[in-house]
Amino acid sequence: MIPAFFGLAGTTLTDAERGLFAAADPAGYILFKRNVETPDQVRALTDSLRALSGNARLPILIDQEGGRVARLRPPHWPEFPPPALFGAAWNKAPLTAMAAARANAQALATMLTGLGITVDCLPLLDVKAEGMHEVIGDRSYGTDPHMVASLGRATLDGLKAGGVVGVVKHIPGHGRGTLDSHLALPTVTASAEELEADLIPFRRLADAPMAMTAHILYTAWDDELCASLSPTIISDIIRGSIGFDNLLMSDDLGMHALGLQPCGNSMAGRATGVLEAGCDIALHCSGDFAEMEEISGALSAIGEMAHARLLRAMAWAAEPTGETDSLAARRDALLAAA
């Protein structure tokens, strides 16, 4: 098994993908809009990935946050609200907002488990700051780190109750980024003292099963390497100050922020770079076959500690309970009451 999560090109595995994945044995996969058409098709796809790997609890990820970041959409799947809606409800009735966030996440998870998807890249713990880029925007719960932590915890609990593994992101915080890391390298010049507020939600959810790094340069901690590539930030801040000791994956290797780092445009260099910095898993989302071949050829087998963290993360979620419709109705009633 190699320490990578891969995307794939379409709605079914190609023969070339099947051969590469069988040989390389990536630790898991991530689905996007290009991979989903109908519930039956998605379930057949996830079943084929499990059969290929021989792993019944294979990590199959998706970004199903609600709002504008949702790979599964009508008419086959319901719309879910963006995280900011729960932040707005918190300002009126915090306990009700937490209950609504939990019910919402459990409904999301119940939907995903029916499709064979085992990991949702949620919740965002990015604390919204003045001047932040709209790449985060309403994906953030809001500006109060304690509120972000509480709603993040409720969301994580709801995912667990629905049988899905949650991922806190973007550690150690994307809320001050003024650029979109998909397109450029954001630089945060806030002091270490100012950044303490950004760490609060991650510290409070340091027991989360998985976390995803931010491709952001934080000059107070490392003025040369972004968090995903910085041994200093991963060791001293993420593992040290925050206290996160579970599975750490990079954000997508294909994002242009990494092209402005020493690894440049080499996908092999990006993958080995994040792993050497201290990430357990390199995430590659595009499904580009040549890039996946390049990454697979550059990576050694997953390390013992990273593998143990992966197994622990995938054992974290409970057996799914509840029905999507009734949970969503409870969420809506709670939001209306807030």
User: What confidence tens digit (pLDDT) does each residue in 95-116 have?
Assistant: 999 999 999 999 999 999 999 9
- The string of pLDDT tens digits covering residues 179-219 is 888 888 999 999 999 999 999 999 999 999 999 999 999 99
- pLDDT attached to residue 134: 78
What CATH architecture is 2-337? Alpha-Beta Barrel (3.20)
Q: Diameter of the chain by CA atoms?
A: 55
**Pairwise pLDDT comparison (329 vs 41), residue with the higher score:** 41
Q: Which listed residue (138, 222, 251, 280) is catalytic?
A: 251
What are the residue ranges of helices labelled H in 92-244?
A: 94-114, 145-161, 192-204, 231-232
Phi and psi based region of residue 142 (left: phi greater than 0; alpha: psi -120 to 50; beta: remaining): left
Report the pLDDT averaged over residues 155-180. Answer: 94
Confidence at residue 329, expressed as pLDDT on a 0 to 100 scale: 87
Residue 283 and residue 30 in contact, taking contact as beta carbons nearer than 8 Å: yes
- For the question of residue 288 being annotated catalytic, the response is no
Band of pLDDT at residue 72, cut at 50, 70 and 90: very high
| Region 86-92 average pLDDT | 95
The lowest-confidence range among 56-65, 224-233, 317-326 is 317-326
Give the pLDDT score at 321: 62
Does the active-site annotation cover 182? yes
Residue 180 tokens, joined: 């979109």
Residue 322 has what pLDDT?
62
CA-based R_g, the chain, Å? 19
Among the listed residues 47, 182, 245, 325, the single catalytic one is 182
Rounded Cα gap, residues 120 and 316, in angstroms: 13
Question: Mean of the per-residue pLDDT values for the chain?
Answer: 95
Query: What pLDDT score does 296 carry?
Result: 97
**pTM exceeds 0.85, yes or no:** yes
Beta bridge partners of 286: none
Q: Where along the chain do its domains lie?
A: 2-337
More confident residue, 175 or 296: 296
Query: Residues 70-84: what's their mean pLDDT?
Result: 96
Looking at residue 285, its pLDDT comes to: 97
In angstroms, rounded to a whole number, what is the distance separating the alpha carbons of residues 47 and 6?
Answer: 16
Given a cut of 90, is residue 304 above it in pLDDT?
A: yes
> What pLDDT is stored for residue 216 in this prediction?
95
- Provide the 3-class DSSP secondary structure of residue 15: helix
Closest by Cα among 193, 191, 278, 264 to 227:
278
Between CA 299 and CA 250 the distance in angstroms is 15
